Amino acid sequence: MSEAKIPLVDLKAQYLSLKPEMDVAIQGVLDTTSFILGPHVDTFEKRFAEFCGASHCIGMGNGTDATVLALEGLGVGRGDEVITVSHTFIATAEGISELGAIPVFVDVRDDSLLMDVSKVEAAITPRTKAIVPVHLYGQTVDMDPLLAIARKHGLKVMEDACQAHGAEYRGRRAGSMGDAATFSYYPGKNLGAYGDAGAVTTNDAKLADWIRRKRNHGRATKYTHDFVGRNSRMDGLQGAVLNVKLPHLDSWNASRRALAAQYDALLEPKGIRRVATQEGCLPVYHLYVIRIPNRDQVLARLTAAGIEAGIHYPVPLHLQKAYAELGMKQGDLPVTEAAAGEILSLPLWPGMDPEILKFVVASMGI
């Protein structure tokens, strides 16, 4: 097995398991030439809204656009502040910045590496307009106290659920709790398209209608434009692909949880620290993440064994050149910074052979 290449996620194996269904779905798009929006996207939007327990789903070109439009629809604009975390992919903050708003980064919890809700209230100023909790690695932020803070201060909450398709918090699914939520269907996600795609979910009918028009040049009918919009429509092919995959998502997530439990059982005797599960959360393990002080040496051993591992994310956003203008420095977010030097994502995908998992752990050299 040491000669084999073990990917972080095996998308080819997933495709082969779905090939008969997928070939029919894609041919259906070609036969009807419904390439942009259309019936396949309409069907997916309805199904995914039901899956999340939300009233509306609006398919988008990608998750970043979904973030921009959701925040703009919630009233975020130039000079406003939006509270979020630095320990996330840059798209979270890019959506804020594109509107001329200012990301305000708070630290994460040391156990789950999710937003430390106890830090949020101190970050609120008269310019604060919204809070963006990031459901990182496939589990949800502690939403009830966060929503209470938002209500107290009259703030909007947009869930970044781009890594949390199907994750639950106290019986509610990611994408159903805030004023809006955003999803990415980047191919490697738990529910991934065959290219870029994203969506916004919301229970607010007016917001859903505005985003639906905004993504399509500000129009509801072909040549009548109610306002200046943009082009961020989901392709029909992506809608068809996602329609094939969605019925499998719950079982895939259950498989991820079972594999994560096997990782836990193998790693615990070695004293390796795993990212903890948030209380009240049913995680979907978009990534299986451990923390080790000698991370780079372990990563080198895995690479030498032909195993692909990842670091999500090695440089916090507040220390990136792109956000130097915020004036933050090393030491401002100590938990985030400590985690960035220790985290390592191990290979994980639904249906993964447990023997591969054992080989990964053995190859760590710990």
pLDDT digits (tens, 9 = 90+) for 249-266: 999 999 999 999 999 999
Do 98 and 243 fall into the same domain? yes
Chain centroid to Cα 128, Å, comes to 23
Instruction: Answer yes or no: is pLDDT of 4 > 90.
Output: no
Degrees, nearest 5: CA angle 118-76-92 = 60
Q: How far apart are CA 53 and CA 254, in angstroms?
A: 19
Instruction: Answer yes or no: is pLDDT of 241 > 70.
Output: yes
Instruction: Answer yes or no: is pLDDT of 274 > 80.
Output: yes
Do 240 and 338 fall into the same domain? no
Q: What is the pLDDT of residue 222?
A: 87
Instruction: Answer yes or no: is pLDDT of 3 > 50.
Output: no
Residue 3 resides in a domain: no
Whole domain around residue 304: which residue ranges?
249-363
Contact 257, 249 (CB under 8 A): no
Secondary structure (DSSP) of 114-171: SB-GGGTGGG--TTEEEE--B-GGG----HHHHHHHHHHHT-EEEEE-TT-TT-EETT
Q: What is the pLDDT of residue 311?
A: 97
Residue 5 resides in a domain: no
Here the CATH number for the domain that contains residue 159 is 3.40.640.10
Q: What is the pLDDT of residue 89?
A: 98
Each residue's pLDDT tens digit, 297-350: 999 999 999 999 999 999 999 999 999 999 999 999 999 999 999 999 999 999
User: CA distances (Å), 256 to each of 12, 123, 225, 259, in order?
Assistant: 17, 35, 45, 5
Do 229 and 294 fall into the same domain? no
The SS3 call for residue 291 is: strand
Picking from 52, 332, 341, 8, the residue whose alpha carbon sits closest to that of residue 187 is 8
Picking from 322, 320, 344, 345, the residue whose alpha carbon sits closest to that of residue 333 is 320
Each residue's pLDDT tens digit, 57-116: 999 999 999 999 999 999 999 999 999 999 999 999 999 999 999 999 999 999 999 999
Do 74 and 136 fall into the same domain? yes
Do 335 and 231 fall into the same domain? no
Domain boundary among 247, 281, 299: 247
Do 82 and 145 fall into the same domain? yes
Q: How far apart are CA 26 and CA 260, in angstroms?
A: 33
Q: What is the pLDDT of residue 354?
A: 95
Helix-helix angle 11-32:236-245, to 10 degrees: 130
Q: What is the mean pLDDT of residues 197-220?
A: 96
Q: Which of 132-136, 181-185, 206-210, 224-228 has the lowest mean pLDDT?
A: 224-228
Q: Report how many domains make up the chain.
A: 2
Do 259 and 355 fall into the same domain? yes
Instruction: Answer yes or no: is pLDDT of 1 > 60.
Output: no
Each residue's pLDDT tens digit, 166-197: 999 999 999 999 999 999 999 999 999 999 99
Picking from 88, 46, 40, 86, the residue whose alpha carbon sits closest to that of residue 64 is 88
Contacts of 342 (CB under 8 A, 6+ apart): 291, 292, 293, 295
Do 138 and 264 fall into the same domain? no
Q: What is the pLDDT of residue 278?
A: 86
Each residue's pLDDT tens digit, 124-143: 999 999 999 999 999 999 99
